[in-house]
């Protein structure tokens, strides 16, 4: 899908507003956090009052991002605002209880949707949705150009970290010449690529690798699907947190036999979260949407209200049945 812009111009919505609330998705990743920070820096330079909010804590690995302490986590209620910007968010459920707890506000003020997910179904006042962008941060850079706001070093660091995270260091098929051009522009504006790569990838806590050890011991292969499990028990034993599973599914996806890689995680409250990755020939967003999940063709997620054992039976069974017909 090419870029779609609905009736109300995003630029006009932004310029007309004074107080802007930027909302990201649950289980925040590098793209949403970096894009929110970069965008808020743009807004403050346009003299807007800007608040960035998340329903979940910022994982410790992103603590190096300048301005990250200004993100408001788990607010009881969203404050008065003239415009809500939902960033890197495919549907209202992805912002968690921030949506359900503030329904009146979401109905009362204009909403601008900035996203690159192929499964975007968030009906909003205005939208910048470009599924050819490798990261939402690419859309923020384009918006900066449109608003004639020069890129400063602080937002360059946040936005480059976002691009590096969502492309796994420029390795995903979503990486384009435009991605590299934007990275060049951000480096020229003062962001150090080697420093960002060190911060993101060479600062792994011991507990995280201990957890990966437990998870990799559960690895299984069935007809092109490789999967592993992270139980609450393994998290407790290793002294890690559920955020420490970040990146693990990508390790499963490098296995030669894996057409699809899946990581099953026991979430608090008896639910199971599943991350899916494709070797490139299978659209995992389609597989995820069968279970009410979503994402990109190459990377998607599902959340099921059932035990990790039941979730494996359901999801692996479904993929095994589907694979022969959907493999390209
Ligand atoms: Mn993203």
At 220-236, the pLDDT tens digits run 999 999 999 999 999 99
CATH 3.10.310.30 positions along the chain are 206-326
CATH 3.90.1640.10 positions along the chain are 4-200
Flag whether pLDDT at 115 surpasses 90: yes
CA of 38 to the centre of ligand 1 (A): 14
Percent of the chain with pLDDT over 70: 98
Question: Phi, psi (5° rounding) for residue 33?
Answer: -70, -50
Question: How, if at all, do strands 111-115 and 126-129 pair?
Answer: parallel
CA of 136 to the centre of ligand 1 (A): 5
CA of 31 to the centre of ligand 1 (A): 5
Q: Which residues contact 217 (CB under 8 A, 6 or more apart)?
A: none
CA of 267 to the centre of ligand 1 (A): 22
pLDDT at 3: 46
Flag whether pLDDT at 39 surpasses 50: yes
| CA 29/CA 279 separation, integer angstroms | 21
Lowest mean pLDDT among 2-16, 37-51, 124-138: 2-16
Q: Pick the residue with more confidence: 5 or 254?
A: 254
CA of 237 to the centre of ligand 1 (A): 31
Which two tokens mark 152?
A: 């400063």
CA of 166 to the centre of ligand 1 (A): 6
Question: Phi, psi (5° rounding) for residue 295?
Answer: 145, -140
| CA 32/CA 232 separation, integer angstroms | 26
Q: In what order do the strands lie in the sheet with 126-129?
A: 4-5, 126-129, 111-115, 83-87, 19-23, 49-54, 72-73
Question: How confident is residue 81, by pLDDT bands cut at 50, 70 and 90?
Answer: very high
Question: How confident is residue 55, by pLDDT bands cut at 50, 70 and 90?
Answer: very high
pLDDT at 233: 96
Coil, helix or strand at residue 164? helix
From the number of C-beta atoms within 10 Å of its C-beta (0-12, 13-18, 19+), residue 126 rates as: buried
| CA 171/CA 107 separation, integer angstroms | 39
CA of 77 to the centre of ligand 1 (A): 25
**Does CATH number 3.10.310.30 belong to domain 206-326?**
yes
DSSP assigned state of 100: H
CA count, 13 A, side-chain hemisphere, 66? 16
Its pTM stands at 0.81
CA of 174 to the centre of ligand 1 (A): 11
Percent of the chain with pLDDT over 90: 82
pLDDT at 328: 60
CA count, 13 A, side-chain hemisphere, 57? 7
CA of 261 to the centre of ligand 1 (A): 19
Cα separations (Å) of 328 from 14, 231, 307? 42, 33, 32
Q: Pick the residue with more confidence: 242 or 115?
A: 115
Q: What are the start-end ranges of the H helices in the chain?
A: 10-16, 30-45, 97-100, 103-108, 136-146, 153-166, 177-188, 193-201, 206-216, 232-238, 248-253, 284-289, 308-326
Question: How confident is residue 7, by pLDDT bands cut at 50, 70 and 90?
Answer: low
CA of 133 to the centre of ligand 1 (A): 9
Q: Per-residue pLDDT averaged across 34-41, rounded?
A: 96
Class of domain 4-200: alpha beta
Q: Per-residue pLDDT averaged across 33-60, rounded?
A: 95
CA of 140 to the centre of ligand 1 (A): 12
Q: What is the pLDDT of residues 296-307, one digit of tens each?
A: 899 999 999 999
């Amino acid at each position: 899908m090419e870029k779609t812009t609905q009736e109300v111009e995003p630029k006009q919505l932004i310029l007309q507003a004074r107080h802007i609330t930027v909302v990201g998705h649950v289980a925040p990743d590098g793209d949403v956090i970096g894009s929110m920070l970069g965008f808020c820096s743009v807004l403050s330079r346009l003299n807007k009052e800007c608040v960035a909010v998340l329903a979940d804590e910022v994982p410790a690995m992103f603590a190096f991002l300048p301005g990250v302490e200004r993100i408001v986590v788990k607010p009881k209620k969203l404050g008065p605002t003239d415009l809500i910007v939902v960033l890197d968010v495919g549907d209202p459920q992805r912002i968690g209880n921030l949506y359900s707890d503030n329904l009146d506000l979401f109905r009362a003020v204009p909403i601008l949707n900035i996203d690159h997910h192929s499964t975007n179904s968030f009906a909003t006042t205005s939208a910048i949705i470009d599924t050819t962008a490798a990261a939402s941060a690419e859309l923020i850079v384009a918006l900066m150009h449109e608003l004639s706001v020069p890129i400063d070093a602080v937002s360059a660091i946040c936005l480059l970290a976002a691009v590096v995270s969502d492309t796994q260091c420029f390795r995903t098929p979503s990486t384009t010449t435009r991605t590299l051009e934007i990275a060049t522009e951000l480096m020229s504006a003062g962001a150090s690529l080697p420093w960002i790569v060190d911060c993101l990838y060479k600062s792994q806590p011991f507990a995280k690798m201990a957890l990966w050890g437990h998870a990799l011991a559960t690895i299984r292969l069935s007809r092109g699907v490789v999967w592993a499990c992270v139980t609450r028990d393994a998290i407790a034993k290793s002294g890690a947190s559920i955020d420490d599973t970040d990146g693990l599914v990508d390790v499963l996806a490098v296995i030669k036999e894996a057409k699809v890689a899946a990581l099953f995680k026991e979430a608090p409250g008896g639910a199971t979260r599943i991350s899916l990755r494709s070797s490139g020939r299978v659209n995992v967003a389609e597989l995820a949407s069968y279970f009410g999940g979503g994402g990109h063709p190459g990377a998607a997620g599902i959340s099921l209200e059932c035990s990790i054992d039941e979730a494996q039976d359901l999801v692996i069974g479904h993929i095994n049945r589907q694979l022969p017909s959907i493999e390209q």
